[in-house]
């Protein structure tokens, strides 16, 4: 009959071995024990008792001769290797319980000494001292374990900035460090908006008419009445200016009479000088002559706003910028972008199609403002920030000073974007990295454990380029004053690293 092999772990004890024997449900079991597992004879005896109770024929496989001898002393079969346990015949062994490991208590017959043992003051005192010593050791160990420390290191950091070229490829699905290719996803959105701007053009428009007085001279021997709205004009100017009388006036025979006149057209051109009005139009010219003894005044222009080409350009540029920002925000809120944590580089946005661009005013039209309505199809590229970090860290690794490590990496801005013929986008990103000394916190704990505060601080200052001496705080303080040492257990030492710009 072959034995069933059960391999024990270095952490197994007789109780766990007994459970595994019971779970094996085999009539013959060989326990294969590693060299690190060392038991006493009482452990083997307990295991033998358990095997007999379960009706199992038990053997021990152990590489150490001393352990095999201890097992054989309590009646167990012992083998050096599992092959020997499977190949060799098992010698018959008695199923009687192993011999008692200690002598039985002896009682004196017919006396009460077993109920009232004799007192031994020396032994009792020694026992009490041992108890007090054990209690003192336990309390001391508990106090030592309650000791904890916090070490704060002020580590200098510095910034490095490099302009690195990248290629965004919508057809690639993985990062290519050699060619600096980052996979990208194309996103398209349609945005529309409206924007108004004040008209910046200026134009003078005639608004006010010139007014003044003229004198009519009657050429007839009878009275003559100059009617209202009689037209008068100048002859000395290059462009004749016409005026009308505002009321009827009667001119006596061979005499004269004054009348108020007003320019037909508004504007400064109606402000003529003295004696410029000298001609009467119509039938009245036969009867009277006219002259203005004083200049006419009051004619003037007003300056108004008009739409010019610069308004179109400024409005189109401003609204295009607003719509690109709106498109960027829409892309960031798309489901795939949010779910995958992608980022959209604003520099990759471009207008794929202008679907509408309408102005509500014409050029040179008089208006206080002009409004543009625009609808655009905007395209942008989304990338995984982990891919950007992977490429950026690989490229900045050679630029990190010896003994330092790259703590953080952040793209700040883009310098140029160029789209190639194969739908790749060439972009130059300014990558800003934070570098600082490589601080191994586990090594720091091992360095300061069991040291005084002064010794620990001196060791740390020699090991790391710190901005200032390390801060070490130990509590409870009374226990540190008593021991004068940091905790021996590394898990009782907390390390805090403060990054400070150099």
- Going by the DSSP 8-state scheme, the letter that residue 489 receives in this structure is S
Whether residues 265 and 294 fall in one domain: yes
Whether residues 222 and 254 fall in one domain: yes
Mean pLDDT of the chain: 86
Dihedral angle sign, alpha carbons of residues 218, 220, 223, 225: negative
Angle between helices 453-463 and 441-448 (to 10 degrees): 140
Dihedral angle sign, alpha carbons of residues 7, 10, 16, 18: positive
58: CATH: 3.30.70
pLDDT in tens, 305-322: 999 999 999 999 999 999
pLDDT of 101: 45
Whether residues 9 and 22 fall in one domain: yes
263 φ, ψ to 5°?
Answer: -65, 145
pLDDT in tens, 173-216: 899 988 889 999 999 999 999 999 999 999 998 999 999 999 99
Residue 21 within any structural domain of the chain: yes
Whether residues 225 and 373 fall in one domain: no
| pLDDT over 90 (residue 159) | no
Alpha helices in 181-334 (DSSP H): 309-332
pLDDT in tens, 397-455: 777 777 778 777 777 766 656 776 667 888 888 888 888 887 888 999 999 999 999 99
pLDDT band at 246 (very low <50, low <70, confident <90, very high): very high
**More confident call, 472 vs 124:** 472
Whether residues 211 and 194 fall in one domain: no
Residue 195 within any structural domain of the chain: yes
Whether residues 311 and 191 fall in one domain: yes
Contacts of 319 (CB under 8 A, 6+ apart): 193, 194, 195, 372, 374
Q: How far is CA 489 from the centre of its chain?
A: 37
- Cα–Cα–Cα angle for 67, 11, 6, nearest 5°? 65
pLDDT of 439: 84
Q: What are the residues facing 262 on neighbouring strands?
A: 211, 244
Q: Spell out where 94-137 has E strands.
A: none
Whether residues 61 and 13 fall in one domain: yes
Show which of 21, 55, 87 is a domain's final residue: 87
Please give the average per-residue pLDDT across 353-372, as a whole number. Answer: 94
Contacts of 235 (CB under 8 A, 6+ apart): 278, 279
Angle between helices 41-54 and 14-24 (to 10 degrees): 20
Going by C-alpha positions, the residue among 335, 411, 410, 332 that lies closest to residue 378 is 332
Contact status, residue 111 vs residue 117, Cβ threshold 8 Å:
no
Residue 471 within any structural domain of the chain: no
359: CATH: 3.30.110
Residue 496 within any structural domain of the chain: no
Total domain count for the chain? 3
pLDDT of 415: 63
Q: What are the residues facing 181 on neighbouring strands?
A: 167, 176
Residue 438 within any structural domain of the chain: no
Residue 157 within any structural domain of the chain: no
Checking DSSP bridges between strand 57-61 and strand 28-32, what pairing results, if any? parallel
Please give the average per-residue pLDDT across 353-366, as a whole number. Answer: 93
151 φ, ψ to 5°?
Answer: -110, 125
Half-sphere exposure of 239 (CA within 13 A, CB side): 5
pLDDT in tens, 384-400: 989 988 888 888 877 77
Show which of 87, 102, 120 is a domain's final residue: 87
Please give the average per-residue pLDDT across 452-473, as a whole number. Answer: 90
Contact status, residue 290 vs residue 277, Cβ threshold 8 Å:
yes
Going by C-alpha positions, the residue among 52, 54, 102, 107 that lies closest to residue 75 is 52
Residue 232 within any structural domain of the chain: yes
- Going by the DSSP 8-state scheme, the letter that residue 419 receives in this structure is E
Q: Is the pTM of this model over 0.75?
A: no
Tokens 């095997």, residue located: 51
Whether residues 262 and 325 fall in one domain: no
232: CATH: 2.40.30
Whether residues 232 and 378 fall in one domain: no
Whether residues 214 and 292 fall in one domain: yes
Residue 189 within any structural domain of the chain: yes
Buried b (16+ CB within 10 A) or exposed e, 223-243: ebebeeebbbbbeeeeeebbb
Domain that holds residue 379: 185-200+307-383
Show which of 383, 412, 428 is a domain's final residue: 383
Q: Is 303 exposed, middle or buried (0-12, 13-18, 19+ CB in 10 A)?
A: exposed
Checking DSSP bridges between strand 404-419 and strand 256-263, what pairing results, if any? unpaired
Contact status, residue 11 vs residue 17, Cβ threshold 8 Å:
no
**More confident call, 303 vs 118:** 303
| pLDDT over 60 (residue 96) | no
Give the three-state DSSP class for 486.
coil
Cα–Cα distance for residue pair 19/56, rounded to 1 Å: 13
Whether residues 291 and 219 fall in one domain: yes
- Going by the DSSP 8-state scheme, the letter that residue 297 receives in this structure is B
Whether residues 191 and 333 fall in one domain: yes
368 φ, ψ to 5°?
Answer: -80, -25
| pLDDT over 90 (residue 75) | no
| pLDDT over 50 (residue 95) | no
Going by C-alpha positions, the residue among 203, 299, 293, 302 that lies closest to residue 242 is 299
């Amino acid at each position: 009959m072959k034995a069933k092999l059960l391999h024990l772990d270095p952490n197994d004890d007789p109780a766990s071995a007994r459970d595994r024997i019971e779970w094996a449900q085999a009539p013959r079991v060989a326990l294969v024990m590693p060299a690190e597992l060392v038991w006493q004879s009482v452990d083997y005896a307990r295991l033998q008792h358990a095997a007999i109770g379960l009706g199992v024929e038990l053997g021990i496989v152990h590489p150490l001769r001393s352990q095999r001898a201890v097992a054989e002393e309590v009646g167990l079969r012992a083998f050096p290797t599992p092959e020997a346990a499977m190949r060799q015949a098992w010698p018959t062994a008695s199923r009687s319980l192993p011999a008692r490991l200690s002598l039985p208590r002896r009682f004196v017959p017919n006396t009460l000494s077993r109920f009232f043992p004799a007192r031994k003051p020396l032994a009792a005192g020694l026992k009490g001292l041992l108890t007090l010593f054990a209690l003192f050791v336990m309390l001391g160990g508990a106090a030592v374990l309650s000791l904890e420390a916090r070490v704060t290191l002020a580590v200098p950091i510095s910034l490095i900035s490099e302009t690195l070229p990248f290629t965004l490829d919508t057809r690639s699905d993985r990062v290519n460090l050699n060619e600096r290719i980052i996979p990208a996803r194309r996103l398209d959105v349609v945005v529309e908006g409206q924007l108004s701007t004040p008209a910046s053009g200026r134009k003078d428009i005639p608004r006010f008419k010139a007014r003044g007085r003229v004198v009519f001279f009657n050429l007839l021997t009878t009275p003559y009445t100059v009617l209202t709205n009689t037209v008068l004009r100048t002859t000395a100017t290059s462009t004749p200016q016409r005026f009308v009388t505002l009321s009827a006036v009667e001119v006596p025979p061979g005499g004269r009479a004054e009348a108020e006149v007003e320019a037909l057209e508004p504007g400064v051109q109606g402000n003529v000088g003295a004696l410029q009005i000298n001609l009467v139009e119509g039938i009245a010219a036969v009867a009277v002559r006219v002259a203005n003894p004083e200049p006419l005044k009051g004619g003037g222009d007003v300056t108004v706003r008009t739409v010019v080409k610069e308004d179109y350009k400024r409005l189109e540029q401003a609204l295009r910028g607003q719509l690109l920002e709106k498109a960027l925000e829409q892309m960031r809120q798309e489901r795939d972008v949010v779910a995958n944590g992608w980022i959209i580089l604003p520099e990759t946005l471009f207008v794929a199609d202008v679907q509408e661009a309408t102005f509500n005013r014409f050029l040179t039209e008089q208006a206080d403002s002009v409004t543009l309505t625009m609808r655009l199809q905007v395209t942008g590229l989304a990338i995984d920030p982990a891919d950007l970090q992977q490429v950026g860290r690989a490229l900045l690794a050679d630029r990190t000073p010896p003994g330092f490590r790259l703590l953080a990496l952040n793209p700040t801005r883009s310098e140029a974007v160029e789209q190639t013929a194969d739908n790749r986008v060439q972009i130059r990103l300014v990558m800003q990295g934070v570098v600082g000394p490589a601080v191994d916190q586990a090594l720091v704990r091992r360095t300061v454990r069991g040291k005084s505060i002064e010794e620990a601080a001196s060791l740390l200052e020699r090991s790391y380029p710190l901005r200032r001496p390390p801060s070490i705080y130990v509590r409870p303080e009374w226990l540190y004053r008593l021991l004068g040492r940091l905790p021996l257990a590394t898990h009782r030492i907390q390390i805090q690293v403060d990054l400070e710009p150099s």
